[in-house]
């Protein structure tokens, strides 16, 4: 097994990977930017090296620096986590050229799957169903508009190099087609340095359902069932669960086999995810393949009992997959909620600030994957995801109830989070019924606001008690309750600036 692994990431995923390494007696090297000096992944690792400037391109995206540090520390492998360099073929190639094992697939495969157009073509050729669309080279607006008209509306404009919902536009009619193409191009350019876009048929009542796969370097490959990831905001997942409420055993087997076919078509090894779009009639289409560990991997771990992070390490070390497809089964039901520093009542605007206090719910089958701590600054440099809370139990209903309980005990003070919002979403009667599509949040939570009714009386009472305990004023004698001159009257609430 590897002697020492450098983890080229931060936050909860770096913590997760360091723990997996340590359990396997592998030494770990953390890297960190200046703002992350005190972060849990740095404290947990056996060694740590500063990357300096917090700007991603100077720190967690700095290929040269990271490779150099890995060499200095004597690391024989690098785990990229997700995001940052995880799907950067140049990084994978750079590792290879320095004889450091990149924990992921071959650089060529990353390259191919990173190019959405080429990926789709490859899959089509391999017999994997894909969504009708245009993925051609003619990127002038006129050609794209023409192709769009052929596909028909609604249609999607997507960044070829995209991911995480960036550079995506839904177009409902001809009038705004060109404008949307331009917007997607601009956003794609800014996020990925590439403004190639493609067009595809927009699926009504779409669900986002993905399959986890695990493949070794010796051609063995299995799938670990699906994850239902339809609940999204701004095209980013916020709640994931497995099993999916709509997948039946036949469909599960069919989609699982298709995922394996997709992975085989590119000689894939490592953990990976094949994302499908499923329509209202349970037709499914290949969307993309993620060549890394997924944010939502814990729900698969909880229902299959398999440790994906450890298997990544074993596979990268050349070990054979000893798990057989027939040995893998799902049990119970698992749900993950992503805790973001964001304001759901202001368009999910990321929030920044200092985490003053944090408390995690604990209990049987509650898993907290987190990289935050009291005193931590949430900066605009990185993704605003703070942590993930994952629960599992005997069935979906129980897991929903467990998640509601867990969220109600989850305390993060100092920055605005989506915790209250998640509670409302997961308690929603349509969610309970399993009636979810990727439009779920838009359909039911468009104008959601926690505090429409203002400060609840419980909060007012708690504040008053707190201030009373912490004030230096002595206990005072009560005014007589019937006293007409008592200042206890006339207290209430008013709006600043309102006429009186």
Partner 1 sequence: MFINYEHENNVYNVSVERRKDLYFITYDNTEYKVKAEEIKPGHLKIKLGDRIIKSVITTGKKDKFVFTDGNVFKVKNVELSGAIKTKKRKEEGNLNSPISGKIVNIKIKNGDIAKKGDVLMVIEAMKMEYLIRAPFNGKIKKVNFKEKDQIEIGQKTIDIIKKEEA
Of residues 446 through 465, those in contact with partner 1 by CB under 8 A are 450-451, 454-465
Q: Are 139 and 160 in contact (CB under 8 A)?
A: no
Taking CB under 8 A as the rule, does residue 331 contact its own copies? yes
Contact status: 380 vs partner 1 (CB under 8 A): yes
By C-beta, is 405 or 448 nearer to its own copies?
405
236-242 and 270-278 strand pairing? unpaired
Find the helix or strand (DSSP H, E) in which 221 lies. strand 221-233
Q: Rule CB under 8 A: is residue 353 a binding residue for partner 1?
A: yes
Give the C-alpha separation, 94 to 70, whole Å. 12
Closest CB to partner 1 among residues 232, 242 = 232
Give Cα 125 distance to the centre of its chain: 30
Determine if 375 is a binding residue for its own copies (CB under 8 A).
no
Give the interface segment with partner 1, choosing from 149-157, 282-290, 392-400, 485-493 (CB under 8 A).
Answer: 485-493
Q: How far is CA 185 from the centre of its chain?
A: 23
Tokens of 205: 């009542």
In this chain, which of 193, 364, 487, 497 binds its own copies, going by CB under 8 A?
364
Q: What is the DSSP string of 292-334?
A: S--TTHHHHHHHH---HHHHHHHHHTT------GGG----SEE
244 binds its own copies (CB under 8 A): no
Q: Tell me if 22 contacts its own copies by CB under 8 A.
A: yes
Given a contact cutoff of 8 angstroms between Cβ atoms, the answer to whether 284 and 255 are in contact is: yes
Question: Given the structure tokens 């867990």, which residue do they identify?
Answer: 406
- Verify binding: residue 417, partner 1, rule CB under 8 A: yes
CB 66 within 8 A of CB 98: no
230 in Cβ contact with 253 (< 8 Å): no
Smallest distance, Å, CB 388 to its own copies? 11
Instruction: Map the footprint of partner 1 across residues 39-68, applying CB under 8 A.
Output: 43, 46-47
* Total site size for partner 1, rule CB under 8 A: 77
Is residue 249 involved in binding its own copies (CB under 8 A)?
no
Neighbours of 438 (CB within 10 A): 19
When asked if residue 19 is in the footprint of partner 1 (CB under 8 A), the reply is no
Please tell me whether residue 234 binds partner 1 under the rule CB under 8 A.
Answer: yes
d(Cα 117, Cα 446) in Å, to the nearest integer?
32
Residue 154 site contact among its own copies, partner 1, none (CB < 5 to 8 Å, cut-off depends on kind): none
Active site residue 292: yes
Q: Which one, 157 or 306, has the nearer CB to its own copies?
A: 306
x/- track of binding to partner 1 for residues 157-196 (CB under 8 A): -------x-x-------------------xx--xx-----
Q: Which residues pair with 370 in a beta bridge?
A: 387
Q: Which of 227, 233, 292, 367 is catalytic?
A: 292
| Structure tokens that stand for 3 in this block | 């002697």
298 binds, among partner 1, its own copies, none (CB under 5 to 8 A by kind): its own copies
397-426 residues in contact with its own copies (CB under 8 A) are: 398, 401-402, 405
Give dist(CA 62, CA 10) in Å, integer. Answer: 13
Residue from 191, 220, 345, 368 in contact with its own copies (CB under 8 A):
368
Binding mask 144-163 for its own copies (x = CB under 8 A): --------------------
Nearest to 416 by CA among 353, 460, 359, 371: 353
- Comparing CB distances to partner 1, the nearer of 96 and 409 is 409
Q: How is residue 155 written in tokens?
A: 């249609």
Q: Which C-beta is closer to its own copies: that of 24 or that of 126? A: 24
Cis peptide before 154 (omega within 30 of 0): yes
Binding letters toward its own copies, positions 310-329, x by CB under 8 A: x-------------------
Q: Report if residue 301 touches its own copies, rule: CB under 8 A.
A: yes
Torsion sign (Cα): 463, 466, 472, 475: positive
- Candidates 306, 316, 389, 425; binder of its own copies (CB under 8 A) is 306
What are the angstrom distances between the C-alpha of 196 and each of 131, 134, 141, 145, 160?
Answer: 18, 12, 11, 14, 6
d(CA 39, CA 153): 47
166 versus 388: smaller Cβ distance to its own copies: 388
Q: Which residues contact 374 (CB under 8 A, 6 or more apart)?
A: 355, 356, 357, 358
Q: Answer yes or no whether residue 454 interacts with its own copies by CB under 8 A.
A: no
Residue 200 or residue 301: which is nearer to its own copies going by CB?
A: 301
Q: Is 236 in the site for its own copies (CB under 8 A)?
A: no
- State the residues that interact with its own copies by CB under 8 A: 16, 19, 22-25, 298, 301, 305-307, 310, 331-332, 362-365, 367-369, 392-394, 398, 401-402, 405
Q: Would you name the residues annotated as active-site residues? A: 292
């Amino acid at each position: 097994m590897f002697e020492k692994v450098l983890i080229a990431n931060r936050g909860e995923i770096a913590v997760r990977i360091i723990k997996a390494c340590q359990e396997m007696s592998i030494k770990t090297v953390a890297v960190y930017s200046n703002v992350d000096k005190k972060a849990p992944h740095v404290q947990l690792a056996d060694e740590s090296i500063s990357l300096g400037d917090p700007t991603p391109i100077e720190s967690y995206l700095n290929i040269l620096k990271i490779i150099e540090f890995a060499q200095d520390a004597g690391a024989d492998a690098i785990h990229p986590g997700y995001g940052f360099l995880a799907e950067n073929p140049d990084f994978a190639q750079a590792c290879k050229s320095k004889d450091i094992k990149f924990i992921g697939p071959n650089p060529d495969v990353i390259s191919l799957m990173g190019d959405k157009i080429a990926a789709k073509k490859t899959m089509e050729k391999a017999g994997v169903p894909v969504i009708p669309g245009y993925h051609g080279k003619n990127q002038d607006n006129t050609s794209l508009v023409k192709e769009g008209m052929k596909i028909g509306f609604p249609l999607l404009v997507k960044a070829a190099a995209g991911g995480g919902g960036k550079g995506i536009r839904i177009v409902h009619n001809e009038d705004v087609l060109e404008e949307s193409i331009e917007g997607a191009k601009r956003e794609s350019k800014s996020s990925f340095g590439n403004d190639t876009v493609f067009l595809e048929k927009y699926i009504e009542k779409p669900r986002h359902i993905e399959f986890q796969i695990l493949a070794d370097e010796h051609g063995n490959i299995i799938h670990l069932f699906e994850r239902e990831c339809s609940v999204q905001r701004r095209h980013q997942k916020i709640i994931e669960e497995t099993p999916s409420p709509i997948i039946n055993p036949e469909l599960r087997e069919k989609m699982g086999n298709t995922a394996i076919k997709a992975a085989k078509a590119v000689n894939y090894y490592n953990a990976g995810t094949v994302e499908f779009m499923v329509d209202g009639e349970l037709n499914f289409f290949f969307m993309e393949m993620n060549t890394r560990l997924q944010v939502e991997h814990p729900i698969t771990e909880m229902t299959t009992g398999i440790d994906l992070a450890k298997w990544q390490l074993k596979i990268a070390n050349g070990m054979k997959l000893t798990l057989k497809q027939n040995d893998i089964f799902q049990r119970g039901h698992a749900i993950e909620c992503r805790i973001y520093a964001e304001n759901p009542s202001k368009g999910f605007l990321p929030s920044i600030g200092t985490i003053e206090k944090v408390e995690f719910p604990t209990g049987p089958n509650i898993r907290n994957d987190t990289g935050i701590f009291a005193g931590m600054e949430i900066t605009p440099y990185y993704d605003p995801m703070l942590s993930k809370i994952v629960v599992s139990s005997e069935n979906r209903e129980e897991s929903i109830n467990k998640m509601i309980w867990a969220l109600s005990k989850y305390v993060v003070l100092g920055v605005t989070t989506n915790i209250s919002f998640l509670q409302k979403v997961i308690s929603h009667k349509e969610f309970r019924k399993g009636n979810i599509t990727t439009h779920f949040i838009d359909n039911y939570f468009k104008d959601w606001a926690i505090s429409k009714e203002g400060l609840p009386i419980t909060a007012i009472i708690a504040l008053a008690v707190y201030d009373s305990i912490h004030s230096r004023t002595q206990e005072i004698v009560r005014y007589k309750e019937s006293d007409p001159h008592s200042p206890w009257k006339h207290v209430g609430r008013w709006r600043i600036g309102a006429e009186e």
